[in-house]
Amino acid sequence: MRILVTWLLCLAMHGIAQAQTPVSVTVLCDANYPPYSYAENGEAKGLYSDILRAAFARMPGYRINIRPVPWPRGLAALEKGTAFALFPPYYRPVERPWMDYSRPILEESVVAFVRAELAQQRAIVDFPNAYAGLRIGLNRGFNIIAAPGYKTMLAAGEVTQSYATDSRTNLLQLRRKRIDVYINDRLSILWELQQMRSEGLFASSEMNWLAEGPKLSSEQGHVGYTRVNEQAYPYKQDFMQQLDQALLTLERDGSISRLTQRYHPTDLQPTNGKGSREDATSGNDL
């Protein structure tokens, strides 16, 4: 009898220990989207990583590893079901029926930055009509801009597009007058300008070559979850619910706003172009 009781007690303790063992989960992130999500010496860095680490700290039932990967590879892994989650995709339910989404984490603003002399010559708020004849630079992976009339102008050769691997390359192209316009997330552009200044590529007094043009759209980043091979991730629904609750708490207590402020340059502002606060419509493929 004593042996039986001891054996049952051992089983119960083993069950408790197993129940208390955190579930190991790997979440992928974009390795090249500074300052939101990027890799530095193989480690996930950026604003989204900071916010999600704060959220994950509120999920003691999980041991979560963030692994940076090239964005196309991360999307492909979710589409195949070989990865569980990825951040920070935008909400694209039609294009990505194989993905579920967390609650929104952050709102990003897509803007056009224009060579300053062009901003003085054109009503750059009128996108895309005022951009006829201009060369527009985009990052690789950026979707075709969806503003009314833009596709028609592009097909007719009235505007041209070129792609570069990152913000720095496009900004250098813009400064060297090899492109006329650069369209990307506003914070990403300002952050890269700050990095370039800190490396001595230009001084603050040399910002008169660049003008901030119109805001084209707002997008919200999420954690995306695969809807494929879900049996490999039996914790999915619980994880999603816990993360959404943690993100909501961080939003309500001001933590997300405080983390975001760390990434905003306080002393680096390009010239405002004419009508730089009007909206149009755009999108990218995050």
Tell me the pLDDT tens digit for each residue of 266-285. 666 667 665 433 444 444 45
Tell me how far apart the alpha carbons of residues 27 and 64 are, in angstroms, rounded to a whole number. 7
Q: Is the pTM of this model over 0.75?
A: yes
* Domain 109-218 of CATH type 3.40.190.10: yes
Tell me how far apart the alpha carbons of residues 77 and 96 are, in angstroms, rounded to a whole number. 13
Tell me how far apart the alpha carbons of residues 155 and 74 are, in angstroms, rounded to a whole number. 31
**Could you tell me the fold of the domain covering 22-106+220-261?**
D-Maltodextrin-Binding Protein; domain 2 (3.40.190)
- Within 10 A of 145 (CB to CB), how many other CB atoms are there? 25
Helices 167-175 and 186-198: angle between axes, nearest 10 degrees? 70
- One fold for both 22-106+220-261 and 109-218? yes
Q: What is the pLDDT of residues 224-268, one digit of tens each?
A: 999 999 999 999 999 999 999 999 999 999 999 999 999 987 666
For tokens 């195949």, name the residue.
Answer: 80
Q: What is the pLDDT of residues 195-232, one digit of tens each?
A: 998 898 877 667 789 999 999 988 899 999 999 999 99
Domain boundaries, the chain: 22-106+220-261, 109-218
